[in-house]
Chain A
Amino acid sequence: MTNNVLLDIKKLRVDFLGVPTVRDVDFKIFKKETLGIIGESGSGKTTIARAIMRILSEDGTISPDSSAIYYGLGDREVDMFKLSLTEYSRLIRWKETSMVFQSALSSLNPTLRVKDHFVETAKAHGLSNPSKIMERTWELLEAVKLDPDRVLRMFTVELSGGMKQRIVIALSLLLNPKIVILDEPTTALDVLTQRAILDLLKKLHETFKLTYVLITHDIALIADLANRVIVIYAGKIIEEGSVEDIFYNPLHPYTKLLLEAVPKLGEFDRLPKPIPGVSIDYMNLPSGCSFHPRCPYASNICMVKEPSLINIEKNRRVACHIYTGLWKK
C-alpha cells in the first residue's frame, strides 16, 4: 500500500502569530486520486494547501514537528517541510506540486501577454530553452482547448473568465507536476463555464496522470469530482472517507448538518436547514470538541475533552465522542 502513497502529511500544525489555525492534521495523498478537502471559510483548508506549497504569509509558521514526506522523486524520500525554501523551489514547487489559486481570474498579470506568462513561469523554474518552452505551452493550450495561435498574443484582460481559468490551469501544468492543488477552481464562473472547466479537469486528470487535491466549500463540486473526502472544522480533520461514505453514511454531526444545509437539485420534499450557531473564532476556540456549541448531540464529555481522530475502518476516520465510546446522552 505504501507504494501508492504520494505525499504523507503528519502532525501538520500552522500557527498565525501564535494562534494555531491548523492543528495536528495528518493525511495521505494517494497516487492519481482526487482528494477533496471540504470546510467552511476559515476552517484552515487553504492554509493546509499553502503550507504544502510553502507559500504561507510571513505571519504563518509551520511547527517543526510537522512533516510531509514526498515519495514522488524515485527512490528519494524528502520531507517537504524540512527543505530550505531554495531547495524547495528547486526541487518541488511547480515541478512536483502546483496550485490553481482561488482568485484565478485576478491572478494573471494584466500587463503581460499570455505567452510571457508561460515563458516567465518556465524561466523562474530554471527552464530556459525557448523552443522547449513553446512546445510545452502549445501542447498545454491545446489540452485546455484554447487556440494557441490566437491566445498567445493576447493580453489577459482580453480573455473571458472561462479562458482565464483555462490559462491558469495550463500554467499549473507547465512543469509536469504530479500533484495539482485546486483551490475553489470554479467560483466566480457561470454554470455552463463551470461545467466546461469540470469536464476539462477530469480529462486532464486522465491524460497527464495527475493527482488532485480539491479544496472547496461547495458540496456539489466534491460530489462531482472527488473520490476521497476530508472534512475539516476549526483546523482539524473531523472526518475522512470515500465520497460515497461521506455522502451516504456521514458519521460526524457536522458532516451531516453540512449535507442537510445544501439544497439538492430537483428535490423539494426536504427543505435545506442551516447549521445553527456561529462560525469559528480561533481566538476563543471552545473547550473540548470545537464543534460542541453548534452540535445537536453535544453531551458533557464533548465540552471537556477533545475527541481524537479514530479509525473506524480502513481509510475511514472520524473525530467525535459518539464513536469513541465516551458519549452518553
Chain B
Amino acid sequence: MTEPLITVKNVSKKFSFRKGLRTTEFYALKNIDLEIPKSSIIGLVGESGSGKTTLGKITLALLKPTEGEVLYEGKDVFNLTRKKEYRRLLQYIPQDPYASLNPFKTVKQLLIEPLLYHKLAGDKREAMEMVHELMINVGLTPPERYMNLYSPQLSGGERQRINIARALIIKPTYVVADEPTTMLDASLKSGIMTTLRDLVTETNISLAFITHEMSLMQFFGPNFTVAVMYLGKIMEQGTLKDLLSEPLHPYTKALIHAMPVADPKYRSDRGILLKEAPPPSPISKPPGCPLSDRCPFAFDLCSKEEPILKNTSATRKVACHLY
C-alpha cells in the first residue's frame, strides 16, 4: 500500500463563542480519521453544521485542529519547513464566485499573479502562454475575449471557471472544492462539473469535493469514495455506488430518501425517515451517537455510547451500533 497524500489522524476541532460572560465550547469535528490517496477523488457530504467545510479547511492547513494531526506525505503539515511550497501544492476552490475574486483586477492579473509569486514561469511571456492554455482548458474561449475583463463583468459560471483556473494554474497536488456550484444554475452546474472532472482526472490531482447534493457527485463516476458526515462525525464511508444502492447508516438512508429525483415517476409523499427533532446543531448534541435523538432505530446503547467507524467490507465503513 502506498502512502496516502493526506492523512487525517484522530482530528477534533473545538470552536467557542461567547454570549455575555459565558463561553460555550463545542466540537465541530470529533475524532475524524480520513485518508486521501494520491490522484483520487473523495466526496464529503453533509448538511450545514456537519463539519464538512471545517474538515476541508483542516486538510488544507488553514485551520489548526484542537487535537490530532494532519500529515502530507507523512509529514505534519503544521511543522513544515517549506511552507510556501506547501501552500502552492494545496489549493482551494471557493463556494461563492461573486465574493471570491478581486473586482479591481483583470482576469489576466488574477491568473498571472499566482504564477509569478510561486516563480513557476520564467518571465511574463511564458506565464501568458500558460494562462492562455489553461483558460482554453477551463472553457474560457477565446481567452483574448476575457483577458482584460474585470470579474464583475463576468457571469457566475465564468467567474467559477476563473476560480478553478486559479486553483489549478500553479499545479497543485491536492484541491478542496467547497460546494463550487451551489450558486449556479442547473445547466451551468453540469458544465463546471464536467470541466472540473476532466481537469482533475487528466492532471492526477487529488480532489476533496464538499457538497450537500449527492447527485452532483455522479459526475465523478460510481467508484470513488464518499464520506457522509453528521454533526462532526463521519457516519458512513463507501463508494458512491454502494452508498446510493445500499445505504447502511440510518442517516445516509434518510438523506438519499429525501433527495428530489429528476423524474416524476419517483414522486410520492416521501417524508423523512428520521424522527422529528429540533434541527441538528453542533452546540447541543445528544449524548452517545449524535443521531440518537432522531434515529428511528435507536436503542439504549445509542444514547450511552458513541459508535466508532468500523469496516464492514474493504471499501465500506459505518459508525452505527446496528452493525
Contacts and interface: CB of A to CB of B under 8 A. Distances in A.
B264 A247 contact: yes
A162 B214 CA distance: 20
Interface stretch (A95-103, A264-272, A302-310): A264-272
A184 B256 CA distance: 21
How many of chain B's residues touch chain A, expressed as a range? Answer: 35 or more
Given A192-B255, A265-B215, A272-B219, A223 B260 contact: yes
Interface string B144-182: 000000000001110000000000000000000000000
B306 interface: no
B221 A268 contact: yes
A221 interface: yes
A275 interface: yes
A160 interface: yes
A188 to B, nearest CB: 8
A243 B265 CA distance: 10
A258 B191 CA distance: 12
Interface in B23-52: 47-48
Given A219-B186, A265-B214, A199 B262 contact: no
Nearest to B271: A199
B322 to A, nearest CB: 20
A220 interface: yes
A279 B191 CA distance: 12
A263 B272 contact: no
B219 A263 contact: yes
B204 interface: no
Contacts of A193: 47, 279
A202 B190 contact: no
Contacts of A161: 48
Contact of B218 (A195, A202, A272): A272
Contacts of A265: 214-215, 218, 244, 256, 259, 261-262
A259 B47 contact: no
A193 B264 CA distance: 20
A261 B256 CA distance: 20
Nearest to A196: B272
Interface string B267-281: 101111010000100
17 contacts: A40-B187, A190-B212, A191-B255, A192-B47, A192-B258, A199-B271, A219-B186, A220-B259, A247-B262, A247-B263, A258-B187, A259-B262, A261-B190, A262-B190, A262-B262, A265-B214, A274-B191
Interface of B: 47-48, 155-157, 185-191, 193-194, 212-216, 218-219, 221-222, 241, 244-245, 254-256, 258-264, 266-267, 269-272, 274, 279
